[in-house]
Amino acid sequence: MSNHWLIARSRRWISALIVLVISALLVFGFFDLVIDLGRNIPQTDIVSDYIIGIIWAAFLGVSILAWPLPFRDRRALIVVWLIKSVITLGFMLLYEANYETLDAYSYFSDSKQNDALFLEEVGFGSGTQNISALAWLHNQAFPDSYHAMKVSFSMVGLLAIYLFYRASVIFLRRENIRVFYMLALFPSILFWSSILGKEPIILLGMALYTYGVVGWYRSRGLYYLFMIALGIALTMFIRQWMGLILLLPLIVFALHGIRGGLQKVMFAVFVVSIFSFFFNQFSEQMNIGTIQDMLETTDTISRGFATGGSGQEIAMEFASINDMVAFAPLGIFTALFRPLPGEILNPFGLLAGLENLVLLSLLLLAIKRTGWREARQPLVIWAIFLVVIWAAVYGFVSYQNLGTAVRFKLQILPVLVGLLLYLARRRSRALISNNNV
């Protein structure tokens, strides 16, 4: 049975299913609810917009059948895509109905422009302008539909999650599709990777980077170095400082993961040189010339997030490096494990609180069950460094706004969840033996 025959037959079934679903929605008056819940979306014909989104989601789902992947992976991707489509086109309506202003609305409005003058503002670190440009390009190639655009970004999120899973396969040296399901269906990952915005794009960059690092460590292949570079470039496309965050943990391999003194030195020089280049670029963009400039910029950016219902201001000012170092532990904990249950009293905050309780439980189990020898493995050290460095940087803004912290954490959440699940596992029932790490 050829893939072409299977795809053609599946398309016929999907077409019939789309007609059946839309007819059922019409009969049960669902589109009246769509109109009501979509009142904040900058679109005049919400029903047509929504139907286009359904058709586009179905088409992308069928396309998975043609992807050059093992059948088991394609099956898992289709299952998760169906769930993501329900979140994107269903549960997301409730979220959007609660907010009169969202970044997603602005991106969609930008896509309606008749010219592309704002494309001139595209560049590394210009996250908002870059997403507006992507939205504009999407609207040139596809029908004018907010929901279809949201579906496209959701598919980017699915690709990112799958790449994280493939990285886990290389790390574990065996297939285990349960890892994919655990990552893909972790509530915050499932939700925030399905929105129209920066999050799915930067998540894809993180996935490419992680896949490249794990693959390069195992095989030293140049292909994986390209994946690392591509991942770093994509994250910097949204937020320029991500280049610094992602490069710094690679020093671990110069110290522990590379044999031979000359190779260690060469790799260390390479990483430090690239890091210095990106740091200079970042400093130039942010007008940071001195330590005092850095302190003032950090303080300004941090306090800029202390707005909204989840905003809270830090009592101290960052007047010195010592102030920043003293705040770092609290910032790291906040970026990774807050809000705790009861800190944000709305459905999204309560769910995030329960998630963080699970993550804290996994952390305690990981500390209890992980031996020193296993913790010294280069890939484990790299993952820990990556999580801590990311949290140390994002702690300065996460503490100021716990609602924003939930969204930002998507960037590191697949690595954090995977790391904690691996280290917290029962060794007697482990997926792999310790000598396979």
DSSP 311-363: B---SS---SHHHHHHHHHHHHHHHHH-SPTTSS-SHHHHHHHHHHHHHHHHH
Domain assignment present for 233? no
Asked whether the bond before 249 is cis by omega within 30 degrees of 0, the reply is no
What residues are paired with 401 via a beta bridge?
311
Domain end marker among 282, 304, 336:
282
Phi, psi of 179 (to 5 degrees): -65, -40
Same structural domain, 127 and 271: no
pLDDT at residue 28 tops 70: no
Q: How confident is the model at residue 24 (pLDDT cuts 50, 70, 90)?
A: low
Q: Rounded distance, CA 49 to CA 57, Å? A: 12
* Contact partners, residue 72, CB within 8 Å, separation at least 6: 175, 177
Q: How confident is the model at residue 326 (pLDDT cuts 50, 70, 90)?
A: confident
Amino acid in the structure at residue 81: W
CB 105 within 8 A of CB 78: no
Q: Rounded distance, CA 348 to CA 12, Å? A: 38
Domain assignment present for 204? yes
Domain assignment present for 228? no
Summary mean pLDDT of the chain: 82
Cβ count near 117 (within 10 Å): 8
Phi, psi of 140 (to 5 degrees): -75, -30
Instruction: Classify each residue of 361-382 as buried b or exposed e, where b means 16 or more C-beta atoms within 10 Å of its C-beta.
Output: ebbebbeeebeeeeeeeebbbb
Q: What is the pLDDT of residue 112?
A: 84
Of 86-100, 186-200, 332-346, 392-406, the range with the lowest mean pLDDT is 392-406
Q: Rounded distance, CA 112 to CA 42, Å? A: 10
Q: Rounded distance, CA 293 to CA 225, Å? A: 34
CB 390 within 8 A of CB 412: yes
Same structural domain, 191 and 315: no
CB 384 within 8 A of CB 412: no
Domain assignment present for 224? no
pLDDT at residue 434 tops 60: no
For 425, the token pair is 């596992």
Q: How confident is the model at residue 325 (pLDDT cuts 50, 70, 90)?
A: confident
Q: What is the pLDDT of residue 33?
A: 84
Q: What is the pLDDT of residue 306?
A: 47
Q: What is the pLDDT of residue 240?
A: 83
* Contact partners, residue 20, CB within 8 Å, separation at least 6: none
Phi, psi of 241 (to 5 degrees): -70, -10
Same structural domain, 307 and 432: yes
Same structural domain, 179 and 247: no
Same structural domain, 358 and 268: no
pLDDT at residue 301 tops 70: no
Report CA-CA distances (Å) from 358 to 60, 165, 236, 285. 33, 21, 31, 39
Domain assignment present for 232? no
Same structural domain, 273 and 293: no
Domain assignment present for 132? yes
Same structural domain, 129 and 207: yes
Domains identified in the chain, total number: 3
Domain assignment present for 229? no
Domain assignment present for 92? yes
Tell me if residue 94 falls in helix, strand or coil. Answer: helix
Same structural domain, 276 and 357: no
Same structural domain, 277 and 290: no
For 204, the token pair is 């894809």
Q: What is the pLDDT of residue 430?
A: 43
Cα-Cα-Cα-Cα torsion 132, 138, 139, 142, nearest 10 degrees, comes to: -170
Question: Which residue range(s) make up the domain with 249?
Answer: 240-282
| H/E segment holding residue 143 | none
Q: What is the pLDDT of residues 376-410, one digit of tens each?
A: 888 999 999 999 999 988 887 777 777 778 889 99
CB 207 within 8 A of CB 167: yes
Same structural domain, 106 and 161: yes
Q: What is the pLDDT of residue 6?
A: 53
Same structural domain, 63 and 119: yes
**Mean pLDDT, range 322-351, rounded to an integer:** 84
Using alpha carbons only, give the angle 228, 356, 368 rounded to the nearest 5 degrees. 85
Same structural domain, 271 and 299: no
Of 37-51, 310-324, 361-375, 402-416, the range with the lowest mean pLDDT is 310-324
Residue for token pair 């995977």:
418
